[in-house]
Structure 1
Amino acid sequence: MFSMPIVSIINYKGGVGKTTLTANLAAELAFRGKKVLAVDLDPQANLTFSFVSVDLWRNKFQDDKTIKFWFDAFIDHGAIKDLSSLIIRPPRVNDITTAPLDIICSHLGLINVDLELAVMLGGSSPRQHRNNFLKIYSLLANGLASFEDKYDLIIIDCPPNFNVVTKNALVASNYYMVPAKPDYLSTLGIEQLNRHVEELIRDYNKYAVEIDDNYNELSPKLLGIIFTMVFIRSGKPIFAQEQYIEQVKRTGLPIFDTLIRENKTAYADAPEYGVPVVIKGASGKTYIDVRSELEELADEFIRKVGL
């Protein structure tokens, strides 16, 4: 759909470091000179608050500068507004990066937006259902189309579900990544998630072929599973986690070579200062190890997407 990489980051399980990974990857790529837009689609808005203080968001952005405001315009008026009006450039991180890192903020009210969009998917006939399906799930793709020449990369932080907003992200994307903590609950749904993505692609492409309109077929590619919150002992994951890593490898799904270790100390204060740890510059072995892994992940990411 786009020649510019658009990457969704998703896992059904929360608490796997998804937002931390998104923020650090976006910051590191901007630090390396790539123009990055980060889109926060998670109602918890943790990616937003990784770069913007809660007070600033509440005073300046929550009413008309979030992705909820954009979806509301479609729900209320059928209008697809210019997404560029929502873009903000958080100052602290951009004081360090060499290229712009812009964000589109989220809002807790996205939960209700998802429910309202789901109602609009219905139709009294197969034709109406097909048309509504394509129209609703293509909203974000149409909104991002105007950014083709403005950014080197768009990275989307998805909510931990497979609802309408998440499907919007995947329809807009040409890649997706799955962060996972190597434990039972975090790895349980990976194959199911991949099947659901394949089903979405199949249904969307079927309808796109049937209708004579401006809908392109989808083919978002799984870049890989990234193991996060890994406990490293003697240079490798502890035995309990290594078992789950090997289990996922046996599925045949692509896996990133880089492992991201658990380190609450390094990550804890990053949102408070609006600068992800990968470019923060704090000293000490703890920070050096964490930054090194995140930099290796960025290297691997760049190779996989050809950025």
Structure 2
Amino acid sequence: MTQGRTIAVANMKGGVGKTTTVVMLADAFAARGSRVLVIDLDAQANVSFCLAGNDLLSVLIREDRTIGAYLEDTLVNRRRRALSSFVRGGVSDTTRGGTLLDISLIASDPSLRLIERELIVALTEKGYGLNAIEGQIFRRIEKELPALQAAYDIVLFDCAPGVSPLNEAAIRSVDLVIVPTIPDSLSTLGLSAFCRSIWHGTLAAGSSLPRPKRLPRVLATRRQRIRQHQEKLDAMEIDSSRRNPPYRLLKTIIPQANTTLGSICSEKVGATYLGKYGAANSVLLEELTAEIMKELNSQPEMMLHADAS
């Protein structure tokens, strides 16, 4: 059996289309016939709300079937519970060819932020330093992934803005990290800081965790046909083409006028994939998923921490 592929969608900066990207990728990969699992690591729980809806998400929170409950059970209370037992299948209401898209979810909820804090406090009181705490979370996720990869073709992590022990563990565990970025000055400034914190430079070199498997793949989102955006895209292309680049730039670009998170979440039950995204966006998403699979099948790059600027 072919092992499923793992992808984290992450950025230090919020408001760049990260959750929208996760929802679109989940739908697009499922529309290609893949079994998709989305793991929500963001306490805002936007992707959980979009996929499960308010009623089902409320049930999952009430039944403690969230990523926060899993972390609390396994790392604080030391209970033996598999991450797979927190999966809720069949969360999509979107169809293609008369069949519901095969999308499952491990939900998040607003308490995740407090649970992460309690986790750090609890492990600190047991004598763990920051590196050891990060290692505990990393090893837990790494241990759980094979079972999930056996059950799903694509496992998508929706990471919260910023760099936390949980986000970093996911980023260092997966096959590929996608970084949605608006091609403007503010977003690309955050992109440089994000790459320095995990892939390059002294901060990355100081981590006790394994390096990410590949350089991050930057996805330009919310692109407008204005000179500032084109100039930034040109600069990002130059950075991506350097001998030791900080990232690789995906060729597919998501325009500003395309699907927004609000329109995705407001779709009625029973919407078709084509009706949800339209013909042009459907073609764009097919191109994006094909490009991502090509990247996943490519050889990982050698990364030099000291090279980054």
Q: In the alignment, what sits opposite 1:227?
A: 220
Confirm or deny: 8 A CA contact 1:38 1:101 kept in the other structure: yes
Mapping 1:46-125, distance limit 5 Å = 46-93=46-93, 95-96=95-96, 100-120=102-122, 122=124
Which of 288, 292, 298 is the matching residue for 1:301? 292
State the TM-score, normalizing by the size of structure 1.
0.82
Amino acid at match of 2:279: I
Listed as ranges, the gaps of 5+ residues in structure 1 are 206-216, 232-236
SS of corresponding position for 1:8: strand
- Gap change, CA 1:16 and 1:250, over 3 Å in 2: same
Query: Aligned-pair distance for 1:259?
Result: 0.6
Distance 1:276 1:70, change over 3 A: farther
TM-score, normalising length: structure 2: 0.81
Deviation at 1:54, TM superposition (A): 1.0
Which amino acid counterpart does residue 104 of structure 1 have in structure 2?
Answer: I
* Deviation of 1:260 (Å): 0.3
Q: Report the AA paired with residue 289 of structure 1.
A: A
Q: CA deviation at 1:162?
A: 0.2
Q: Which runs of structure 2 are paired with 1:163-178 in the superposition (5 Å)?
A: 163-178=164-179
RMSD (Å), alpha carbons: 3.0
Which is worse superposed, 111-120 or 161-170?
Answer: 111-120
Amino acid at match of 2:222: M
Quote the offset at 1:72 in angstroms.
1.3
Q: Please tell me the residue identity of whatever aligns with 1:76.
A: V
**Residue 118 of structure 1 contacts residue 164 of structure 1 at CA under 8 Å; is this kept in 2?**
no
In structure 1, the partner of 2:152 is 151
Alignment of 1:26-41 (within 5 A): 26-41=26-41
CA gap 1:136/1:281 in 2 versus in 1, 3 angstroms:
closer
CA distance in 2, matches of 1:201, 1:101: 36
Equivalents in 2 of 1:238, 1:276: separation in Å?
37
Shift of 1:12: 1.3
Match of residue 196 from structure 1 = 197
Is contact 2:259–2:281 with CA below 8 Å preserved after alignment?
Answer: no
C-alpha spacing 1:128/1:297, structure 2 compared with 1 (3 Å): closer
In 2: Cα distance, 1:265 partner to 1:130 partner = 40
SS of aligned partner of 1:244: helix
Deviations along 1:74-114, one digit per CA (max 9) or x if unpaired, are 24312352111111123444643676221111111111122
Evaluate the alpha carbon distance shift between residue 203 and residue 32 of structure 1 in structure 2; reply closer, same or farther with a 3 A threshold. same
Q: Report percent identity of matched pairs.
A: 24
Distance, in Å, in 1 between the alignment partners of 2:287 and 2:162 is 28
Q: Which residue of 2 aligns with 1:210?
A: none
Return the offset for 1:36.
1.4
The whole-number CA distance in structure 2 between the counterparts of 1:224 and 1:294 is 16
Q: Distance in 2 between matches of 1:276 and 1:14?
A: 30
